[in-house]
Structure 1
Amino acid sequence: MSIPLSNRGASDRRIWNASARGVFSVKSAYALECTLQKRNEGGKSFSGAANRQWKRIWDLKDNTCPVCLSEPETVVHVCWGCSATADVWGRISVFRKWRRDFYDFQALWEEMGTKLKQEELELAATVMHSIWLRRNEMVFNGNFQSPNAVIAKAQADYSVNREVQEGVPGAAVRILGSESRQFDKDRGRMGIGVVVRDSEGALIGSLVAPKRNVTSAFQAEGHALHRAMVFCIELGLMHVCFEGDAKAVVDAVNSETEDNSWDGQLIEDIRQLKAAYLVWKLGFVRRSVNASAHVAAKLAVFFSCESVWLEDGPSEVRKSIMDELVCNELIQS
């Protein structure tokens, strides 16, 4: 009952249970072997000193660019000077003939500020952000995106940002699945709270739902995010920004690495939903920003079945939203 099954009818797969991502690696195999050996051995008096020595070795750092492997990694190198980065900028006509030898990022940005229009400057910042994300994806997950993929993501982000600035109707979705007070590990149950609001903070809809046979907080947060996305599809919303306070789930969904972990099927289901709506965004926010959804999740554990409100919500949720709107007005005044 607690095995996370895919809603897509995905095929079964083998996973390596000794790593969090379910993928075999020499490091995880070595850690498993050490764990098995320690079960049959007593502790050694010098183990602490040995661990400290190994930590010093593993902490040694090399500042060479992990992409081109030929120059020191600096901010201006990653975002502009690297040969792999040049392939990205070379596909954007306005930057095609720019020089590459800026000595630091400030010099690059100052020149952009004097030569570019506001829209071009905003696009440049978005492209740099995509390039930096590509660098992180390669370093931490071993994936390297093509220049066209980087540009496509940057253009999508830029379009969404422009729509928000110009007041194009959209919706901001604040979702919260379950934290320690909503997820009961011993009983395997959780509460889902979803609050959907427009760009001005007005309530579009809300949802509370209890769920059983949940084995971890990560799985609980994943179920909440999945239900929030399905709820927005049911409401017919196209431009949605999802905000969740479970960073591990947000990072897992936004990553392009195949997830072979125990909850990988659930993450893949969420990714598929998100991929169907290119303008959907998913970001991490702290719980203090997610107060209304947190209130909804706390209420959900007391419900016997899922309940939905359109342009309304439980009185506790409405009060939380009203308090937030009043607070924002006081800050702006």
Structure 2
Amino acid sequence: MTWNRSLLREVLSVEEANVVSKIPISLSRSPDQLIWRLTKNGLFTVKSAYHLLGEMKNLYKKRIKESALCPICTRDSESTTHALWSCPSAQDAWGLSSRKLQKERVVESPFSSIVGHMFSVLDENDMSTFASIVHQLWKRRNQYVFEGKYDAPETVVSTATKLVLNYKEANRIQVSRDKPVAPSVRSWSAPPLHAFKANWDASVDKVQCKVGIGVVIRDWNGCVVATLRSQRDLLPDPLLA
């Protein structure tokens, strides 16, 4: 078993795809399980993600980065908020998003505060778009740093919007498949007093050229007084019939 490298390159950056393709695939074919290594229970939390991202200034202090400046605008110190929200390159993308996001003020608050604010003022649709654009901005930043590629703001927003639409469509199809179809039930109505009512139905087997007929006769109280079922040969060609 090997990784589908072409699929990895479609959904991940080149650097990410190379890292993922080096992960050994289980020979036992056991089902995959998502595990977040920064929490004890293996579940993802926003707090742990911020801890992972950290501030770029700290990376510079630890000499992991050569410069504390934003690699895109090269004017301001890079932080999570700057990279994903206040950088002019990020604002170019936010300016092409929904009107609610366009109206939000550019502030240098901790990014966790910005996310919390968005949860309080945006509906589910705009919040999905916000999260998708954040992901695309971070992906674009890494592509620029590691590969020298830079996507235009229009590409960032259109890709983010498309991902949200595809996600919703996939969930809509899944829900429609899982939703049980209620059977069509018709209520039986009784005939007039001292009268009888016959109900019938038929089924056709075109492969075996057979037709089955069933008849039920009830009285005015709904009691079954007679039944009939019969099978006959079916001649689909009117000339043969």
TM score, norm. by length of structure 1: 0.32
Structure having the higher Rg: 2
TM score, norm. by length of structure 2: 0.44
Larger RCO (CA under 8 A, 6+ residues apart): 1
**Higher helix content, 1 or 2:** 1
